[in-house]
């Protein structure tokens, strides 16, 4: 396989990918503000003869290598970024040039996956490779803020999809499942009074008791893939001054669901044990899992790719089809200062995607 030029093209391909990523990094692409970055990528693809469809700031490209009725594989990653964190030792938008890596905001999350998917798509297309399925490349916007003009909007124009690869920094390991995300705002309500007198009902005490209930609560259903639902209290706020019994105490609960519970079921179960009022910020960030006998899993085994369960969410949760999450880079570098991805990682991403596509039989 190493002698096949489809898997190992000359170094110019990898240099082109790194240069494209440097261009992308230099164009601010915060969630909801991806217009210039989207236009640049569209122009790049069009110059290479790819017909693109732009839906708001989302980009769609198609490669029908077989008949129109064949299964459809979606290749997806996102072009938006978070705002830069504090602590950068260089300009996150105009970083220094490094020969062995691409640095800057979004280079690792998820620019490396974006350019690797683009190059893999072009390599399949330009080499005239006939796959037993059709390809759709979808580079989406507003992933980082789960915006309404992101992948959910684009999927209305995509049409049929049977399976997907979601490009995120996973060190080219394959996440065969990912936990969902349920954030709950809780409000404990008491009665205010003077701290020097035995009056009032302390909302902090109510909140503490509820937090202890949460810490002692176990969701019974055990997922064979993800284990148990994880629950953590991450914020708490109460009181106006030292001598006033607080009548309100607010706290936040971060919950990582599994495929054994819907977010609505989790909310219902917690409401039954808590005295505080609880409200979910979003019920849509569900967990995802791909069946063990699916062709995606078989291709993973064929390629010898390491698998794991991802603790973080992605646009996978917006997809109603089996998927895996896989891409170059390291999730530990995401949303941190001095973000980067190495050129070798990009190379491995391109080759890894092509190898996977060649072994996948939908």
Residues 29, 147 share a domain: yes
DSSP type of residue 180: -
DSSP type of residue 141: S
The answer to whether the beta carbons of residues 150 and 34 sit under 8 Å apart is no
Residue 6 scores a pLDDT above 90: no
Domain count along the chain = 2
User: Where a domain ends, among 280, 310, 335?
Assistant: 280
Residue 174 scores a pLDDT above 80: yes
Residues 257, 204 share a domain: yes
The CA-based angle 133-167-32, given to 5 degrees, is: 115
For CA atoms 134, 140, 146, 149, the dihedral sign is negative
Residues 105, 130 share a domain: yes
Q: Cα separation of 73 and 361, whole Å?
A: 10
Residue 46's CB: how many other CB atoms inside 10 A?
12
Residue 169 scores a pLDDT above 60: yes
Residue 268: give its domain's CATH number. 3.30.70.360
The residue-averaged pLDDT of 154-162 equals: 96
* DSSP codes joined into one string, 10-32: -HHHHHHHHHHHHHHHTS--BTT
The residue-averaged pLDDT of 58-66 equals: 92
The answer to the question of residue 95 being in a domain is: yes
Task: Summarize pLDDT for 183-240 with one digit per residue, the tens.
Answer: 999 999 999 999 998 889 999 999 999 999 999 999 999 999 999 999 999 999 999 9
User: Where a domain ends, among 280, 297, 326?
Assistant: 280
- At 13 the pLDDT is 85
Residue-number span of the structural domain to which 193 is assigned: 182-280
Alpha helices in the chain (DSSP H): 11-25, 35-47, 112-126, 151-158, 203-216, 263-271, 295-303, 343-359
Which tokens sit at 154?
Answer: 């684009």
pLDDT > 90 in the chain, percent: 90
Residue 114: give its domain's CATH number. 3.40.630.10
The answer to the question of residue 71 being in a domain is: yes
Task: Summarize pLDDT for 67-112 with one digit per residue, the tens.
Answer: 888 999 999 999 999 999 999 999 999 999 999 999 999 999 999 9
Q: Cα separation of 142 and 315, whole Å?
A: 10
CA atoms within 13 A on the CB side of 204: 11
- At 66 the pLDDT is 76
The answer to the question of residue 226 being in a domain is: yes
Residues 298, 249 share a domain: no
The answer to whether the beta carbons of residues 135 and 121 sit under 8 Å apart is yes
**Averaged pLDDT of the chain:** 94
Residues 200, 299 share a domain: no
The answer to the question of residue 302 being in a domain is: yes
**What is the b/e burial string over 8-24, where b = at least 16 CB atoms within 10 angstroms of the residue's CB?**
bbeeebbebbbebbbeb
Residues 171, 64 share a domain: yes
Listed range (224-228, 295-299, 325-329) with the worst mean pLDDT: 224-228
Listed range (11-15, 324-328, 336-340, 354-358) with the worst mean pLDDT: 11-15
The answer to the question of residue 4 being in a domain is: no
Residues 168, 53 share a domain: yes
Task: Summarize pLDDT for 300-310 with one digit per residue, the tens.
Answer: 999 999 999 99
Residues 269, 137 share a domain: no
Residues 207, 256 share a domain: yes
The answer to the question of residue 6 being in a domain is: no
The answer to the question of residue 5 being in a domain is: no
Which tokens sit at 104?
Answer: 């800057």
237: left (phi > 0), else alpha (psi -120 to 50), else beta?
Answer: beta
The answer to whether the beta carbons of residues 169 and 339 sit under 8 Å apart is no
Helix, strand counts (H, E) of the chain:
8, 17
Residue 245 scores a pLDDT above 90: yes
Residues 252, 103 share a domain: no
Residue 9 scores a pLDDT above 70: no
Smallest CA-to-CA distance from 247 within 199, 291, 209 is with: 199
pLDDT > 70 in the chain, percent: 97
4 by Cβ neighbours in 10 Å (0-12 / 13-18 / 19+) ranks as exposed
The answer to whether the beta carbons of residues 147 and 280 sit under 8 Å apart is no
The answer to the question of residue 215 being in a domain is: yes
User: Where a domain ends, among 280, 310, 339?
Assistant: 280
- At 124 the pLDDT is 95
- At 8 the pLDDT is 47
More confident residue, 65 or 312: 312
pLDDT band at 4 (very low <50, low <70, confident <90, very high): very low
């Amino acid at each position: 396989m190493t002698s096949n030029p489809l898997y190992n093209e000359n170094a110019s391909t990898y240099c082109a990918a790194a240069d494209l990523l440097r261009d992308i990094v230099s164009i601010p692409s915060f969630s909801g503000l991806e217009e210039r970055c989207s236009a640049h990528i569209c122009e790049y693809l069009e110059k290479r003869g790819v017909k693109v469809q732009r839906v708001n700031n989302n980009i769609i490209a198609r490669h029908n290598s077989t008949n129109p009725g064949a299964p459809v594989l979606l290749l997806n990653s996102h072009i938006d970024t978070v705002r830069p964190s504090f602590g950068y030792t260089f300009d996150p938008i105009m970083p220094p040039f490094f020969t062995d890596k691409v640095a800057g905001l979004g280079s690792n999350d998820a620019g490396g996956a974006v350019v690797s998917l683009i190059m893999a798509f072009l390599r399949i297309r330009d080499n005239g490779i006939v796959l037993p399925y059709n390809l759709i490349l979808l580079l989406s916007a507003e992933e980082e803020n789960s915006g309404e003009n992101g992948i959910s909007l684009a999927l209305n124009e995509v049409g049929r999809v049977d399976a997907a690869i979601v490009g995120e920094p996973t060190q080219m390991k394959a996440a065969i499942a990912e936990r969902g995300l349920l954030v709950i705002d809780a409000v404990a309500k008491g009665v205010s009074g003077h701290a020097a007198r035995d009056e009032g009902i302390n909302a902090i005490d109510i909140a503490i008791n509820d937090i202890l209930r949460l810490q002692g609560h176990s969701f019974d259903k055990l997922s064979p893939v993800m284990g148990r639902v994880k629950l953590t209290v991450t914020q708490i706020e109460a009181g106006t001054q030292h001598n006033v019994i607080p009548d309100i105490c607010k706290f936040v609960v971060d919950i990582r669901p599994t495929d054994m519970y819907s977010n609505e079921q989790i909310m219902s179960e917690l409401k039954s044990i808590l005295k505080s009022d609880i409200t979910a910020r979003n019920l849509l960030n569900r967990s995802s899992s791909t069946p063990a006998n699916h062709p995606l899993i078989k291709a993973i085994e064929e390629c010898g790719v390491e698998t794991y369960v991802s603790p973080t969410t992605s646009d996978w949760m917006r997809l109603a089809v089996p998927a895996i999450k896989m891409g170059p880079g390291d999730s530990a570098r995401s949303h941190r200062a001095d973000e980067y991805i190495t050129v070798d990682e990009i190379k491995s991403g391109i080759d890894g995607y092509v190898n996977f596509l060649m072994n996948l039989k939908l």
